[in-house]
Structure 1
Amino acid sequence: MASTNSREWRAVCEKFRRAQDLSETESRKDPENDPFRSKYKARDLLKEIYCCLKNVEADDSDVEEGEGEEDRQCEQTGAEGGADSGTRRVQEGDSRAGIRAAKLAVIEYYLGVNHIETEELSAGEEYLMNCMKLLDKCTVTRENVSLSIQARNQLGILWAGRDETEKAQGFLETAESIYIQYMKEDGQPPLDLVDFFVPEEEAPSQQEKMRRFEMAYTHTLYYLAQVYKNLDQFERAGQYCHSTLQRQLKFSQFVPLEWAINAATLSQYYITKTRYMEARHCLAAANVIAGLAGEVPSEAAAKESEAEYEKREQLRQKRAEIARCWIKYCLNLLQDAKKLLEDNIGELDLDRQEELQSARRDEEDEKEKGRKNAVLFDSGDTFDSICSQEEKVSCVFPLNFDEARAIFLVGQNYVTQAKEYFEMDGHVTDHIEILQDHSALFKVLAFFEEDLERRCKMHKRRVDMLEPICKDLNAQYYLLICRQLQFELAETFYEMMDLKLAVAEKQDQPDMHIIKKFNHLCAASIKYYQMFLDSTRSPEGKFPEKLEDDILRPALVAKFRVARLQSKIISTNLPTQLENLNNSLESYNFVVQYCEKNPEAKKAVETELELSEEMVSLLPLKINRIKSKMASSNMQ
């Protein structure tokens, strides 16, 4: 097998090609009851190649020993040119040894991957470590650099799967440094793994070799992004995720829907950092790249073909997931703007609003400056399409109702898109989460609305979308969701009550319609707070002596607000007033007494506790005045 064109060598190449075909193509057709059939056949062929290479290594060693004896004889007899020819043969021997080691390392690598893919992880690890030992002294040469990186990628994945994240990090960071060193010192297309086992005329082109090498490094960055995320190094994880997506675009190494989902997911990281320009850019890019996956097949086509059905479901699901990321973008942008603009009681601070609006005079310059500093995709042909998507929604904080409404409408449009796939029938949790986001969009939009009646109508929209779900949902199976809905509905009615109270205070004498509406809102809020509180009771109906941490604050806040609502109910009937105030005092007392028994709860409800203590001292005076009136009335 001295020549790469010999019959024996071509037989080895054919075995290698067959092993690749079995592993990468035919294995997809393996039956469920024998899922690794093709992988095992590929393994047998790889082992045959390995044995063949070891035999050649032994033969070459004999030849080299003979050549060494000949060189010594030449030196002893002083034969002309003996020293030069001996040196040349040593160099050729070293080269042959390096190629042999590389070939063996390639087979060790593929055997390692094969064992990992057949869930034999320890054996896979051993083969990969053997591969690395064979390359130990020459990891950054043109012959070995690609294999060095790919072996470490596989070991990184292996250790990450064992939750040994720091070990995975070590392998992957070494792979990264090998790539950087090679590109700095050489940068030419390195040999691909298949180059060692294909006839020269079938070897990949230089361009293809470089593409495969860059793909291996892209995988390194992708795996490092996951590792840094698992290590809670979110800044680095975001950077590596962005670099991965950028390289996938640059080298056209992506599956459209997969790339789009990853970009949309990255947008959620940028949102947490209030980097809305980057978040919007990721989502716009997700829309554009997802579009490359094609149109959603019609329902009729999906019924006729299983392939069309699967394609339809996948496209609908992934685009709905991207829509949900857009909803979060719009919601968080509005909520962060609200934080900038609200005063210490949660209302719009007009002075702050005017100050921020004045600062917008140089908005265009600032916008351009921000874009230059932003981390965006250098996406070539798709860049214009991404920019076109971006123009549909702002990435700056809205400062008034019109600006907020424009963002709200974009979010609401994506709510509609997301609900088309995540229907109540079959996607209960997802559907309700989307509704809750829709409700939150209305809630934050109401903050920007100055007209109290219109604000009240926005909250009514929230009630209309959440109340039917809350009534129909089985609390036995969806306890947590039911509690969330009950508390949100209680809060919504509570906010509406406050708005109606503000409207009533502007009138000299509120009419009976307003009073009736006000009392209805109080009763509805009390009802849902009480439902929430009752959900914490034991099967015997007993309220817990000690509340769990996750419901401690909500439960005490609910009790506090019930107390306030009970004292706000308007009635001209003295016995009714007395009953309401007694109920209110009892609820305030509950908050105070619970915190006395459980001092650690005080931090969770500092403001509510302070007000409760105040009302516990004031309400008895009010109750006594009503009792006096009633006694006086009875005497008359």
Structure 2
Amino acid sequence: MASINSDEWRAICDKFTNAQNLTEIESRKDPENDPFRSKYKARELLREIYCSLKSLESGDGEGDTGESGDQRPPEQPVDGLTEEAFSRGFSGDSPAGQRAAQLGAVEYYLGVNHVDTEELSAGQEHLMNCIKLLEKCRVSPENVSLFIHVRNQLGILWAGRDETEIAQGFLETAESIYQRYMQEDGTPPTDMTEYFCAEENLLTHQERNKKFELAYTHTMYYLAQVYKNLGQTERAATYCHSTLQRQLQLNQFIPMEWALNAATLSQYYITKGRYMEGRHCLSAATVISGLAGEVPSEAAAQESETESERREHLRQKRAEIARCWIKYCLNLLQDAKKLLEDNIGELDTDHQDELKRARRQEEEEEEKERKSALLFGSEDTFDSIASVEEKVLCLFPLDFMEARAVFLVGQNYVTQAKEYFQMDGYVTDHIEILQDHSNLFRALAFFEEDLERRCKMHKRRVDMLEPICNDLNAQYYLLIRRQLMFELAETYNEMMDLKLTLANKQADTQSLDNHTIKKLNHLCSSSAKYYQMFLDSMCSPEGKFPEHLEEEVLRPALVARFRVARLHSKLISSSPTVQLENLNRALENYKYVVQYCEAYPDEAAAVETELELSKEMVGLLPLKINRLKARMAVNN
């Protein structure tokens, strides 16, 4: 092997420093019409370094940095590390091994350069050349960082091509290299930039450790994406959580980006009923989003938006985090309702008492569980996160007071979210927030024992949704209008049932006063009106209702028919003619449900309960209609 003098080495180091400066700093200033100018210059310097190292290695002049076509690495195994690479520990390699690592590093930087300039095939070839060169080396403190970096880059490259399993192979190998190195050595390893660095510019142990841990954090981040794409959601969530924690520990994060990722992760935990973890993610997101505007890390320093754009961006992201909080509160209330309701959807007070007795033990165990959970934050932020957590339960609310506390937190975030997602400009978002607000009231009403107050909560729902539903353009917002019409119909229906229950407690139906009858009929008619509007929205331009219902509207449409029938049979009138008309409308809709399910028996399971009741009413109503007709004939 040829020797190298200090001047030659200094020239190589200077070229490498210039290439890094061109890549990381000067490239940001490149004009739009020549966006890769600095990176092309950096590439030439890297090639010169490669040739110098190659000539030192073999004395045969210029090395090969050819760029061939897109060659896939072997898929089985996609990537692996031989046991020999680990077999004799992590002692330093021979001079030949060190030169191979240096050449590998140049191949790595050339690969990244080509990928950055959208030349993926050439980038892949250089990265694979790096892998081949590292086969000559044992994993050691001098090269373990390069072992991991090159596999991270190949993982990203193949993931970008939707070759998820190939990406998984490279990234899982990077993970195993890190874990084994930490078990068997663990000293802060040399960073690849130090291969071409004067001794006086070498990194400290602390700097080396931070760079190495950051490389592994990137491995975990990319694995989280890979597992998500493979449908391994539990694994993806675990890796995402660990990534977020490590980013905080290493102080390498952009606050608002970190906060949004944590808030998004909370939604996964919520769907799994893991409210402690979900609350912790959201509380951390709230605290860290508050850091936006400061520069807590090197990553944040790369932001280059104008101040007005930046303010608008922050407002939007904070509103999105608020929406995640709304979902947390809503799901917590809804899951508590499912836990506490009996077979007719009312509060099971016996079960409620049992759960309250078990609550004390659950609260005592919660602290132990929290200690074993993967918590975010350093000493600086942990107290702030804990103070946000204390404002809302992560255990199921068991009575009205606890449910109201969760509701009020959710309602506060509704206000915050609506400040940004206004009707003018964000129609869909604004309506979704209103629907969540309506459902918060609905969930809270379940816990309210006073029927009058419960009815008022449903009236609040009507007041917020009805004007929007009536004003929306039917052509452009058909699906949203259908959702609103169905919800309004259900809300009026619930109010009617509540009012009827209250009236029956006070007197039988025959002696209801005119005011109560008028109120009941109004609620009944309003509910039937919105169910009918929902059904009419499915008609053709000629006004014809579809013979066969699409899967997404099958149950709602049949339920709407059933409810319209039920509501018409409940309307109160002193006029026999009106009574007859209402009963005939009811029978017509009950018959529709029965006849549809007979025509499409495979779809009957969607409305099993409603179908059974419809069949019963189809048998009973004609008798009632005939009796009414007989009385009318006698009176006439």
Same fold at TM > 0.5: yes
Report if the CA contact (8 A) 1:4-1:10 is conserved: no
Counterpart of 1:73 in structure 2 is none
**Bigger shift: residues 364-373 or 395-404:** 364-373
1:40 aligns with 2:40: yes
1:99 aligns with 2:101: no
Distance in 1, matches of 2:373 and 2:213, equals 25
Query: Following TM superposition, by how much is the alpha carbon of 1:449 offset from its aligned partner in structure 2, in angstroms?
Result: 0.5
Counterpart of 1:182 in structure 2 is 181
Report if the CA contact (8 A) 1:140-1:181 is conserved: no
Counterpart of 1:340 in structure 2 is 339
Alignment of 1:516-555 (within 5 A): 516-555=518-557
Alpha carbons of 1:139 and 1:94: their partners in 2 closer, same or farther (altered >3 Å)? Answer: closer
Structure number with larger C-alpha Rg = 1
Determine helix, strand or coil for the equivalent of 2:429: helix
Counterpart of 2:16 in structure 1 is 16
Determine helix, strand or coil for the equivalent of 2:424: coil
1:275 aligns with 2:274: yes
Partner of residue 514 from structure 1, selected from 513, 516, 523: 516
1:627 aligns with 2:626: no
Report if the CA contact (8 A) 2:326-2:410 is conserved: yes
Counterpart of 2:366 in structure 1 is 367
Determine helix, strand or coil for the equivalent of 2:306: helix
Deviations 1:280-322 (A, max 9, x none): 1111111111111148xxxxxxxxx972212211211121111
Alpha carbons of 1:413 and 1:102: their partners in 2 closer, same or farther (altered >3 Å)? Answer: same
Deviations 1:103-122 (A, max 9, x none): 11111111111222222222
Counterpart of 1:444 in structure 2 is 443
Distance in 1, matches of 2:502 and 2:115, equals 69
Query: Following TM superposition, by how much is the alpha carbon of 1:525 offset from its aligned partner in structure 2, in angstroms?
Result: 1.2
Report if the CA contact (8 A) 1:277-1:374 is conserved: no
Code of the aligned partner of 2:520: F
Distance in 2, matches of 1:137 and 1:629, equals 102
Counterpart of 2:413 in structure 1 is 414
Alpha carbons of 1:5 and 1:319: their partners in 2 closer, same or farther (altered >3 Å)? Answer: farther
**Bigger shift: residues 496-505 or 212-221:** 496-505
Counterpart of 1:119 in structure 2 is 118
Counterpart of 1:497 in structure 2 is 496
Distance in 1, matches of 2:479 and 2:110, equals 48
Q: Which TM-score applies when normalising by structure 1? A: 0.90
Query: Following TM superposition, by how much is the alpha carbon of 1:448 offset from its aligned partner in structure 2, in angstroms?
Result: 0.4
Q: CA RMSD in A?
A: 2.1
Distance in 1, matches of 2:361 and 2:94, equals 66
Q: Which TM-score applies when normalising by structure 2? A: 0.90
1:231 aligns with 2:230: yes
Report if the CA contact (8 A) 1:246-1:379 is conserved: no
Report if the CA contact (8 A) 1:320-1:417 is conserved: yes
Query: Following TM superposition, by how much is the alpha carbon of 1:369 offset from its aligned partner in structure 2, in angstroms?
Result: 3.2
Report if the CA contact (8 A) 2:100-2:137 is conserved: no
Query: Following TM superposition, by how much is the alpha carbon of 1:267 offset from its aligned partner in structure 2, in angstroms?
Result: 1.2
Identity %: 74
Counterpart of 2:259 in structure 1 is 260
Determine helix, strand or coil for the equivalent of 1:506: helix
Counterpart of 1:472 in structure 2 is 471
Give 1 or 2: higher helix fraction: 1
Determine helix, strand or coil for the equivalent of 2:44: helix
Deviations 1:344-374 (A, max 9, x none): 0111111111221222343542332332343
Deviations 1:383-429 (A, max 9, x none): 11111111111111111101100010000001111111111122222
Determine helix, strand or coil for the equivalent of 2:94: helix
1:128 aligns with 2:127: yes
Query: Following TM superposition, by how much is the alpha carbon of 1:212 offset from its aligned partner in structure 2, in angstroms?
Result: 0.5
Code of the aligned partner of 1:37: R
Report if the CA contact (8 A) 1:139-1:148 is conserved: no
Query: Following TM superposition, by how much is the alpha carbon of 1:60 offset from its aligned partner in structure 2, in angstroms?
Result: 8.3
Report if the CA contact (8 A) 2:54-2:61 is conserved: no
1:604 aligns with 2:606: yes
Determine helix, strand or coil for the equivalent of 1:545: coil
Query: Following TM superposition, by how much is the alpha carbon of 1:143 offset from its aligned partner in structure 2, in angstroms?
Result: 1.8
Deviations 1:503-550 (A, max 9, x none): 121122322112111111111111211121122222332211111111
Distance in 2, matches of 1:544 and 1:40, equals 62
Counterpart of 1:429 in structure 2 is 428
Partner of residue 589 from structure 1, selected from 583, 588, 591: 591
Code of the aligned partner of 1:17: T
Distance in 2, matches of 1:319 and 1:125, equals 39
Code of the aligned partner of 2:315: R
Report if the CA contact (8 A) 2:26-2:38 is conserved: yes
Code of the aligned partner of 2:420: Y
Distance in 2, matches of 1:123 and 1:492, equals 62
Determine helix, strand or coil for the equivalent of 1:395: coil
Distance in 2, matches of 1:539 and 1:31, equals 55
Report if the CA contact (8 A) 1:3-1:9 is conserved: no
Distance in 1, matches of 2:561 and 2:43, equals 67
Distance in 2, matches of 1:375 and 1:539, equals 57
Distance in 1, matches of 2:61 and 2:141, equals 25
Report if the CA contact (8 A) 1:493-1:524 is conserved: yes
Determine helix, strand or coil for the equivalent of 1:281: helix
Counterpart of 2:53 in structure 1 is 53
Alpha carbons of 1:550 and 1:5: their partners in 2 closer, same or farther (altered >3 Å)? Answer: farther
Report if the CA contact (8 A) 1:145-1:190 is conserved: yes
Distance in 2, matches of 1:555 and 1:112, equals 58
Alignment of 1:333-412 (within 5 A): 333-377=332-376, 379-412=378-411
Code of the aligned partner of 1:157: I
Counterpart of 1:89 in structure 2 is none
Query: Following TM superposition, by how much is the alpha carbon of 1:604 offset from its aligned partner in structure 2, in angstroms?
Result: 0.8
Deviations 1:317-349 (A, max 9, x none): 121111111111111111111011100011111
Deviations 1:148-201 (A, max 9, x none): 111111111112122221111111111000001111111111111111122222
Task: Give the gaps of 5 or more residues in structure 2.
Answer: 63-91, 295-303
Report if the CA contact (8 A) 1:5-1:199 is conserved: no
Code of the aligned partner of 2:394: C
Alpha carbons of 1:495 and 1:53: their partners in 2 closer, same or farther (altered >3 Å)? Answer: same
Report if the CA contact (8 A) 1:256-1:293 is conserved: yes
Alignment of 1:192-341 (within 5 A): 192-294=191-293, 307-341=306-340
Task: Give the gaps of 5 or more residues in structure 1.
Answer: 63-92, 296-304
Code of the aligned partner of 2:49: I
Runs of 4+ in 1 over 6 A off after TM superposition: 1-5
**Bigger shift: residues 103-112 or 26-35:** 26-35
Query: Following TM superposition, by how much is the alpha carbon of 1:95 offset from its aligned partner in structure 2, in angstroms?
Result: 2.7
